[in-house]
Each structure stands twice: as structure tokens, then as C-alpha cells.
Amino acid sequence: MHEMALTESVVALVEEAARSEGFSRTKAIVLEIGLLGHVEPEAMQFCFEAVSRGTIAEGARLDIIRVAGQGWCLDCGKSVPLAERFGACPECGRHHVQMTAGDELRVKELEVE
């Protein structure tokens, strides 16, 4: 389960932000997780409670925003929705699509005191 390591990294980022910004408590963490990123939000939620114990993130709310897959079709020259990695363009059917969204894992926002 790689979500445990990912959650540990998120908590480490929050702790680093607390040191550099001087806050003493984290109330909420908002994560953006791409639908095509092979990360299970439920597993992140499960791991967060265990990983955050004894840290500045303990007791914080973990909010997860799912980001839809998006790509740029090199043949059509436009942005298209992607339902799978390396999928075909839904407009022209070709596979010359560069993913532009949907595989991210990003701390979007922190609510702190």
C-alpha cells in the first residue's frame, strides 16, 4: 500500500510548513488527487489517522478533491477529457494525447492556527 508512504510525505510537508510559517496547529488539509493517479482516497484517509498521531496534523480534517483526467490532443489541437492513462482522444480516436491533469497529488490548502 503506497498510500501509507504518500500520507507520511504529506504530514512531513505540513510539519515543514509549520516550522517555516510558525503555526502550532493544523485544522484541515486539502489534497488534490487525480483520478488517473492510482491513489486510493479511502486508503489515504485510513492512513492519515495513524500517520498523523503525535504530529502537528493530529486531529486535523483531511479533505480530498478528486481531479478529473484531462489531456491535450496533438492531432486535434485541443483539450479533451481522459478516462484512462494513455487513452485515445475522444474526439479523433488517436493516441497522441499528452496528459495535463488527473495524475496529481498536491497539498492545495492548509487551515492552521
Domain count along the chain: 1
Kindly state whether residue 8 falls inside one of the protein's structural domains. yes
Q: How far is residue 48's CA from residue 70's CA, in Å, rounded to a whole number?
A: 28
For residue 68, pLDDT over 90 is answered with: yes
| Across 62-81, average pLDDT | 97
What single letter denotes the amino acid at residue 93? G
Q: Is residue 2 part of a domain?
A: yes
Report if residue 85 sits inside a domain: no
The set of residues, in sequence order, having a beta carbon less than 8 Å from that of 78 and lying 6+ positions away, is 72, 91
> Which residues carry a binding-site annotation for Zn(2+)?
73, 76, 89, 92
Predicted structure pTM score: 0.86
Give the CATH number for residue 32: 3.30.2320.50
Query: Mutual orientation of helices 3-21 and 41-52 as an angle, nearest 10°?
Result: 50
* Structural domain for 12, as ranges: 1-68+101-112
Query: In this predicted structure, what is the pLDDT of residue 35?
Result: 96
Q: In what order do the strands lie in the sheet with 26-34?
A: 61-67, 26-34, 105-112
pLDDT for 72: 97
Binding site as annotated, residues for Ni(2+): 2
Instruction: Retrieve residue 89's grid coordinates.
Output: 482522444
Q: What's the pLDDT band for 1 if we cut at 50, 70, 90?
A: low
Contact yes or no for 33/44 (Cβ under 8 A): yes
Count H helices, E strands: the chain? 2, 6
- Is position 88 within any domain? no
Residue 105 pLDDT exceeds 90: yes
Annotation: binding site:
2, 73, 76, 89, 92
